[in-house]
Structure 1
């Protein structure tokens, strides 16, 4: 059950990201309280989170000012989610797919070199599960396994900066499914390539893992480009 805090945060955050609350607009704790029927304490907590996201700045004398687009924390999972709900959804998905295409092939290659034995076993197991759920057309189960697959590779790379992109990658994968941008059944070729990546990581073949992941993400960027 969402709390008053999370509900109001989502409402105000969406309004800023959509542009309904434009840059340099000044709002107050009282405005948040009156608009959403919450206490000053809840309003203050919401503002603290919005400040941490780079959406607003709060000053004692000037109030709470909406910041420019350039100040936002674009890697924040909530901002990704809100942007994917807007009318620029496809553009944003394309940007995120290009980010993945830059990072994940390198991550897969590093995982082939640095993954521990448990991670190598787990990546193969996940690829096999994805093949089964994908062939059965179970998109929801496939999505959860796909998220686990890509998160595991980012972690197994041994690079904490790559691992930190797990939430971003999850946001993209969920966004594609939530907004009906996935085919009704995950493509057989994409499922096969996930298995190639998994086996290459398990076998320590860095360049094979890199090339297979590059092929997966080239397909994603290309698909989004057609809708772009």
Structure 2
């Protein structure tokens, strides 16, 4: 499935390049990133662009400037793992699939509770948004993988917003990136999407009915199913690699 990333400006391109190197382990924690002039030559950009990019990486918790030592990669436990770009970079270097499973574990702790809260708190407008997202999933399932992916992400994000808790908003961005990474592994073909429709339908029906416990359990069941499909996809990949 081809991924269509939005175009980046020069600063965004440098952030993406350096962030990818850091998450791939090419520049490990404690090591300095290349000096400004080196990056200017390597990437064909000005020092102003490089400096702005370093500020962007610092905002994600990846680097910090030290006097006489340059710009160092920070310890990994200080990285902003909820940043969508950090999730993307880590997924790109996740050859074992372990990070994708960790992301699913994170979702299993957050989304069932969010579904229960949405069942109690969602407004009529928010319920309509969730229902509309499911309708888009149903329409795209079996024929358009990209549209299904977008609708699936929207479904989950609308549930998080329907909690009425603003602290779920930044988590929604992270879960969007996590879900995209997951679906690109488990739902590569249009036919893969058909089996997930009933699971989403159960979540939708419970939320609309205001049944918090059922919504919680339906969401957890869906995420457990996703975890199993990720494990199977990883196993198939490992088998193919061993046989090649």
Structure 1 residue runs of 4 or more that deviate by more than 3 Å after TM superposition? 186-189
Question: Quick check: 1:157 aligned with 2:163?
Answer: yes
Corresponding residue of 1:109: 116
Corresponding residue of 1:208: 214
Q: CA deviation at 1:23?
A: 2.2
Residue range with higher mean Cα deviation, 140-149 or 67-76: 67-76
Corresponding residue of 1:45: 52
> Contact 1:112/1:206 (CA < 8 Å) preserved in 2?
yes
Residue range with higher mean Cα deviation, 81-90 or 12-21: 81-90
Corresponding residue of 1:225: 231
Corresponding residue of 1:74: 81
> Contact 2:115/2:203 (CA < 8 Å) preserved in 1?
yes
Q: CA deviation at 1:54?
A: 1.4
Alpha-carbon distance in structure 1 between the residues aligned to 2:112 and 2:92: 28
Alpha-carbon distance in structure 1 between the residues aligned to 2:186 and 2:198: 20
How many residue pairs align between the two structures? Answer: 226
Corresponding residue of 1:25: 31
Q: CA deviation at 1:58?
A: 0.8
Corresponding residue of 2:140: 133
Corresponding residue of 1:181: 186
Alpha-carbon distance in structure 2 between the residues aligned to 1:58 and 1:88: 30
SS in 2 for 1:165: helix
TM-score by length of 2: 0.86
Alpha-carbon distance in structure 2 between the residues aligned to 1:186 and 1:202: 26
- Measured at CA, do residues 57 and 83 of structure 1 come closer, stay the same or move farther in structure 2, by a change above 3 Å? same
> Contact 1:137/1:186 (CA < 8 Å) preserved in 2?
no
Q: CA deviation at 1:28?
A: 2.2
SS in 2 for 1:64: strand
> Contact 1:123/1:202 (CA < 8 Å) preserved in 2?
no
Corresponding residue of 1:148: 154
How well do the aligned residues superpose, as a CA RMSD in angstroms? 1.7
Q: CA deviation at 1:216?
A: 0.5
Structure 1 unaligned residues grouped into runs of 5+: none
Structure 2 unaligned residues grouped into runs of 5+: 1-6, 236-244
TM-score by length of 1: 0.92
